[in-house]
Amino acid sequence: MRSLLRSALALTALALAVACGSSESTSSGASGGGKKVIVGTNPDYPPMQFIDPKTNEMVGYEIELMEAIAEKGGFEMEWKNIEWKSIFGALEAGDIDAIMSAATITDERKQKFDFSDPYYTISQRVVVLRENAPQIQKVDDLNGKRIGVQLGTTGQLLVEKEYPSFVRVTFDNAPLAFQDLAGGGVFGFMVDEPVAEEYGRANPEMAKRFEALPFKFSEESYGVVLRKNETELRDKINAGLKAVKESGIEAQLREKWITSRTAEATAP
């Protein structure tokens, strides 16, 4: 899940994520054929999904994309707010039928779960304090540095497997990691690119202190996560996703939630 530099959301808005969500309906193996599909998300990852501080409702690229997929795919859906550390367990237990929460498609995850077709590709980046950026001219300069990662994300797996010389520091969510970075607790934070950019947009004064290093640590794609053998629901989601892309809806949502907000975050 969740990688690279992705602009901004205010820390206070992000902190609301765990407090809010839609109704807590349960489901047992909904296939999309008549039952309402319960989709889990952890809305603390703007611009993909987050809590709007004005309305206290979940908003973002993935929120509108999944709702459009359901409409085009011909099934009803409902959101369920679940912390990231618990979200895959909830899917296994049948409390939800799918995950739409910036979940990266990985070989490890495909051993236990199925995925829809990919809908968005991102990179992992490391964000540091601007004053420290000149120290890092190559990736090896991060060796021995305290690098924050979010628990259960591909950023964590990447650091563990590919960069064991980094001193890994784990956080439950991105807002806590950004806070610790601002206070100097960690030297850098490996995060999905759009999330870092969104942070900068929503916190322009704070973001002036941060800089994303130029290295791209990975290229990865997000997909909707499903239990194994839920072929009917997977086919409906893929059909809906294809229709959303062909109709131009996905491009419009990408422009609304990612492209235009990234331009705003990086404008002089």
In this predicted model, what pLDDT tens digit does every residue of 14-39 receive, in sequence order? 333 333 333 333 344 454 456 899 99
Alpha helices by DSSP H, the chain: 11-15, 61-73, 84-93, 107-110, 154-162, 174-182, 193-202, 204-207, 231-246, 249-254, 260-266
In this predicted model, what pLDDT tens digit does every residue of 40-71 receive, in sequence order? 999 988 899 999 999 999 999 999 999 999 99
Q: How far apart are CA 128 and CA 126, in angstroms?
A: 7
Domain boundaries, the chain: 11-120+222-266, 121-219
pLDDT greater than 90 at residue 6: no
State whether residue 191 is helix, strand or coil: strand
DSSP assignment of 119-133 equals -EEEEEEEEEEGGGG
pTM of the model: 0.71
The whole-number pLDDT of residue 137 equals 96
In this predicted model, what pLDDT tens digit does every residue of 182-193 receive, in sequence order? 999 999 999 988
The mean predicted confidence, pLDDT, of the chain is: 85
Least confident of 53-67, 174-188, 198-212: 198-212
Q: Tell me which of 3.40.190.10, 3.40.50.720, 3.40.1350.10, 3.50.50.60 is the CATH number of domain 11-120+222-266.
A: 3.40.190.10
Q: How far apart are CA 63 and CA 61, in angstroms?
A: 6
Q: How far apart are CA 165 and CA 170, in angstroms?
A: 15
Let me know: does 69 contact 235? Beta carbons within 8 Å.
no
In this predicted model, what pLDDT tens digit does every residue of 115-165 receive, in sequence order? 999 999 988 999 999 999 999 999 999 999 999 999 988 899 999 999 999
DSSP assignment of 80-106 equals EE--HHHHHHHHHHTS-SEE-SSPBP-
Q: How far apart are CA 117 and CA 46, in angstroms?
A: 22
* CATH 3.40.190.10 describes domain 121-219: yes
The identity of residue 179, as a single letter, is Q
